[in-house]
Amino acid sequence: MADATYVLAIDQGTTSTRAIVFDHSGQIVETGQLEHEQIFPKAGWVEHDPQEIWRNTREVVGMALTRANITHEHIAAVGITNQRETTVVWDKNTGEPVYNAIVWQDTRTQKIVEELGGSEGADKYKAKVGLPLATYFSGPKVKWILDNVDGAREKAEAGDLLFGNTDAWLVWNMTGGTDGGRHITDVTNASRTMLMNLDSLTWNEDIAADMGIPMSMLPEIRSSSEVYGEGRRGGMVPGVPIAGILGDQQAATFGQACFEVGMAKNTYGTGNFMLINTGTEAVPSENGLLTTVAYKIGDNAPIYALEGSIAVTGSLVQWFRDNLGIISSAPEIEDLAKTVEDNGGAYFVPAFSGLFAPYWKADARGALVGLTRYVNKGHIARAVLEATAFQTREVNDAMAADSGVQLTELKVDGGMVANETLMQFQADILGVDVVRPKVAETTALGAAYAAGIAVGYWQGEQDVIDNWAEGKRWTPQMDDAERERTYRLWKKAVTKTFDWVDDDVS
C-alpha cells in the first residue's frame, strides 16, 4: 500500500448511495452516485431493496475509482456512513434478506411500540438507551419482521438470521458475505436500535428479550474508527482496510469538526438532524431530544451528543414537486418562493409520519393552515421552506434547555443548504449566524476521516479541524418582534396537527 494516497467513503443514504474519493486535504477528488427505489407498499410504509443497495454500492465505488483514474491500490482505507435505523434482516447461510429493508421513516411498528411501552409508556427504556419508544428505531422493526415473515422467527431462533442497519449489511458483504463476512456495527449505529446500553456500549439482553430478538442476530459493537476487516478478494477494494463506520448524522458532526462540548451542526436532507456535542457525558433529555453516541475513536472514551431529529424537511420539497407537480425540480422552489415577500399568513406543518423531535407524537398528521383567498402558490412554496427553519428553531430551543448552551452560530450541511432563501430565513428565525463549510459533503467526509485516522493516514481530530474551512455565512436581519410573532404562529399551527389518527384513520 506504499503509493496509497486517498481515502474512500461510501455514503449509503436514504435516497441514494455515493462513493467519494478524498485526498489528504479533505477535498473531493471524484464521486459516483446512484439512487435506489423508494418502495411504498401502503400508507406509512417505506422499504428499500437491500440487494439493490449492495449492487449500487459496488457500482458507485467502481465509478468513483474509474473517474479518479485510480485502483484500490491507491486507497489507504474505506469508511462507511449510512442511513441509520433502517433495518435489514438476512440469512447468513444464503446471504439473502428475508424481507425488504424497513426504512427509518416507516410507521408500521406503531402498535408494537405501544404494546412494548405498556403502562410505563414511551419512556420505558429511555434511561438505558437514551431513546423514547418510537417507530423510528430499529429494534421494533426487527420484531415486526420476526412476527410477520413466514418462518423468520424459527430461523432466527436457530441462529440463521443476522440483523443490521445498512452499515452492517454492507460490511458483511464487503468482507466476504457467506464466505467469512464480518458481522459488526459501530457504536453510533448501535445507539439507534433501542437495544444498546448507553453507558457500557453493550447490548441490553432484557430489552432484546422483550422484543423477542435472539442475541445471535445482533452484530458485534465496535468503535467508529478501527480496522474491522479487509475488502474481500474479487471485490472492488480487495485487501483494503475497512476502518471507519459512523451513522450519517454522526459522520456529519465529525466532518464538521464539532469536537468540543457545545459545538453543533444541523444537516438538511430528507429530514433534518441537529446534534450538539456533550462530551464524555451522556446527557438525558427532558425536552424531547435523543441521547446518542456521537463517535468513539479506537480505545478512546465515547463522546455523546443530544440530537433533535425532524422527520420531514427536504422530503416536503420532494412532495411539493412530485405529489403536487407545482415545480419540476427541488431548486425551483426557491424561484417560486421569491415571487412573494412573505408566507402570506400560511403555515405548513409536515407531520406526514407524525411529529418527531421535540413532540414525538405518532398520531399527528400534516396541516396547511392560515389560508385565505389571498394565499397563492408562492406563499405556499415559502411556507414549505419556512417549515424546515421553524422546526429547527424548536429543536434549537430544546437543546438550549437540555444542555444549558446557547448556540452562537450553527454549522449547516446537506442538500437543502444550497437554498439561500431558506438559509437567510433560518438565520432570521434562530437569531444567530448560519455557516456553511466549503466542503458541503460533510457526511462522507466524516466517514473518510474516521477510516483515515484508524490507519494513520490522518493523525487525529486536529487534521479535521485544520482542513475545515468556511464557505458562506448568513447573518440575522429580522427584528426581534417579527421573529417572535411568526414563531408564535408556527407553534399555534403545530397544535392543529395533533391527535388526528383514529382507529379507522392511518
Query: Residue 59 or 91: which CB sits closer to ligand ADP?
Result: 59
Q: Which is nearer to ligand ADP, 263 or 416 (CB)?
A: 416
Question: Which residues, other chains included, contact 246 with Cβ-Cβ below 8 Å and sequence gap of 6+?
Answer: 79, 80, 81, 186, 188, 224, 254, 295, 446, 447, 450
Q: Any known ligand binding at 415?
A: yes
Nearer to ligand ADP, 235 or 269 (CB): 269
Q: What CA–CA distances, in Å, run from 501 to 9, 135, 170, 362? A: 41, 15, 37, 8
Question: Is 330 an interacting residue with respect to ligand ADP (CB under 6 A)?
Answer: yes
Dihedrals φ, ψ of 136, to 5°? -55, -35
Which one of the spans 154-162, 163-171, 303-311, 329-337 is the region binding ligand ADP (CB under 6 A)?
Answer: 329-337
SS (H, E, C) 95-140: CCECCCEECCCCCCCHHHHHHHHHHHCCCCCHHHHCCCCCCCCHHH
Note whether 269 binds ligand ADP by CB under 6 A.
Answer: yes
- Residue closer to ligand ADP by CB (options 115, 335) is 335
State the DSSP code for 405: P
50 contributes a contact to ligand ADP by CB under 6 A: no
Q: How far apart are CA 426 and CA 476, in angstroms?
A: 8
Q: Is 193 annotated as a binding residue?
A: no
250 is an annotated ligand-binding site residue: no
Which phi and psi (to 5°) does residue 25 adopt? -90, 5
Nearer to ligand ADP, 318 or 424 (CB): 318
Nearer to ligand ADP, 252 or 430 (CB): 252
Residues touching ligand ADP: how many (CB under 6 A)? 18
287 binds ligand ADP (CB under 6 A): no
**Binding of ligand ADP by 418 (CB under 6 A):** yes
Checking phi first, is residue 361 left (phi over 0); if not, alpha (psi -120 to 50) or beta? beta
Judge whether 392 is annotated as a binding position: no
How many Å is the maximal CA-CA distance in the chain?
69
Instruction: Give the whole-angstrom CA distance, residue 12 versus residue 32.
Output: 12
150 is in an annotated binding site: no
Among residues 132, 198, 129, the alpha carbon closest in space to that of 360 is found at 132
Residue (278 or 388) nearer to ligand ADP, CB:
388
Minimum distance between the CB of residue 421 and ligand ADP, rounded to whole angstroms?
A: 8
Decide: is 318 part of the binding site for ligand ADP (CB under 6 A): yes
Residue 328 marked in a binding site? no
d(CA 83, CA 16): 10
CB of 188 vs ligand ADP, minimal distance in Å: 16
Which range binds ligand ADP by CB under 6 A, 12-20, 47-55, 145-153, 336-344?
Answer: 12-20
Handedness of CA 392, 395, 399, 401 (dihedral sign): positive
Q: How far is the CB of 240 from ligand ADP (least distance, A)?
A: 25
Tell me how crowded residue 282 is: count the other CB atoms within 10 A of its CB.
Answer: 18
C-alpha cell at 341: 415577500
Binding residues are 14-16, 18, 84-85, 136, 248-249, 270, 314, 318, 415, 419
Binding residues for sn-glycerol 3-phosphate are 14, 84-85, 136, 248
* Contact residues for ligand ADP, defined by CB under 6 A: 13-15, 269-270, 314-315, 317-318, 330-331, 333-334, 414-416, 418-419
